[in-house]
Amino acid sequence: MGRYLLKRLWHTVYVVVGISMISFFFIHLSGDPVMLMLPPDATMAEVETLREQLGFNDPIYVQYWRFASRAVQGDLGSSLYFRVPAVNLILERLPASLELAGAAMLIALAISIPLGIISAVKRGSLWDLSSMLGALFGLSMPHFWLGIMLILLFSVTLGWLPTSGRGSLAQLVMPSLALGLSLMAMFARLTRSVMLEVLSQDYVRTARAKGLKERLVIGKHALKNALIPLVTVAGMQFGFLIGGTVIIETVFAWPGVGRLVVQAIFSRDYPLVQATVLVLAVLFVLVNLLTDLIYLYLDPQISYLEEK
């Protein structure tokens, strides 16, 4: 098990290095930001001077090496727009992103897993049909639209919840709901189908043949097996959620990383884009590592197979 984890950790390093290279080269393909940094009437000579100063004339691998060797020391460059270290900007926004993603995920899982289990157990029942129809509805609803509807209902009409901002629990409710609903729908469908598959396995029949109560058969023998694929998908989705909530952040004026990076892209604040991509990649990989840890607990065979 120790070896398995060590191996995973190594993989993580490879992946992060790989992502940093790829993103670095792609961002470079889009050109350098020198033109944007200078006033429109700047001369060609001035442009060239600045290019030279910022190192844009060096071969790209030299530029990457410069970036990478600073990055390992925690220096991801400074934002051209805000004129402060990119890391500071990101770290300022990160808690908000993690909070929103975490809350959305929590709501989604807490509701969808029981929902999916009941649907699988009572397959074909009215409950099953209506919750799966509801899930389809939830999946097809765009986030922003749902967000706006929530604001109209809970803020404008009922006046229960604040429309935007971050700080209180009340402010977290609507954005996490708007974000979590489609996840909830997806997980409910996934749980149902995985559970149906697991329930038809021989070991579930064995558990029943032992005289176990249905609660144990489903809640223990079936569920632990069903959680294995669910955890994979949940881990993935959580990774996406951290940086990919721009729309919801915009609708609810939520100060997250998603909005920061979009802003950076539009202003061609290329060190900031580069830094954010890297931080998000690291986070994504860490979440995956965490997923693997949960896996180890769920499926004892994994560490065994990996070590062979």
Contact residues: other proteins, CB under 8 A:
201-203, 205-213, 216, 220-221, 224-225, 228, 298-301, 304
Min. distance of Cβ 122 from other proteins in angstroms?
12
Min. distance of Cβ 297 from other proteins in angstroms?
9
- Please tell me the distance from the alpha carbon of residue 255 to that of residue 274, in angstroms, as a whole number: 19
> Judged by CB, which is closer to other proteins: 63, or 225?
225
Min. distance of Cβ 287 from other proteins in angstroms?
22
- Please tell me the distance from the alpha carbon of residue 183 to that of residue 129, in angstroms, as a whole number: 19
Min. distance of Cβ 308 from other proteins in angstroms?
11
- Please tell me the distance from the alpha carbon of residue 165 to that of residue 140, in angstroms, as a whole number: 26
DSSP string, 184-195: HHHHHHHHHHHH
> Judged by CB, which is closer to other proteins: 59, or 300?
300
- Please tell me the distance from the alpha carbon of residue 28 to that of residue 285, in angstroms, as a whole number: 23
Q: Let me know how long the chain is.
A: 308
> Judged by CB, which is closer to other proteins: 221, or 259?
221
Closest residue by Cα to residue 226 from 104, 113, 109, 102: 113
Min. distance of Cβ 299 from other proteins in angstroms?
6
Alpha-helical runs (H) found in 155-217:
169-199, 202-209, 214-216
> Judged by CB, which is closer to other proteins: 47, or 216?
216
Min. distance of Cβ 214 from other proteins in angstroms?
8
> Judged by CB, which is closer to other proteins: 70, or 220?
220
> Judged by CB, which is closer to other proteins: 21, or 296?
296
> Judged by CB, which is closer to other proteins: 144, or 203?
203
- Please tell me the distance from the alpha carbon of residue 39 to that of residue 42, in angstroms, as a whole number: 6
> Judged by CB, which is closer to other proteins: 148, or 298?
298
Q: Is 232 exposed, middle or buried (0-12, 13-18, 19+ CB in 10 A)?
A: middle
Min. distance of Cβ 191 from other proteins in angstroms?
17
CA distances from 166 to 29, 120, 186, 256 (A): 36, 38, 27, 10
* HSE of 196, CA atoms in CB hemisphere, 13 A: 12
Min. distance of Cβ 113 from other proteins in angstroms?
17
Residue with the two structure tokens 């398995």:
4
Token output for 136: 């389809």
- Please tell me the distance from the alpha carbon of residue 163 to that of residue 149, in angstroms, as a whole number: 11
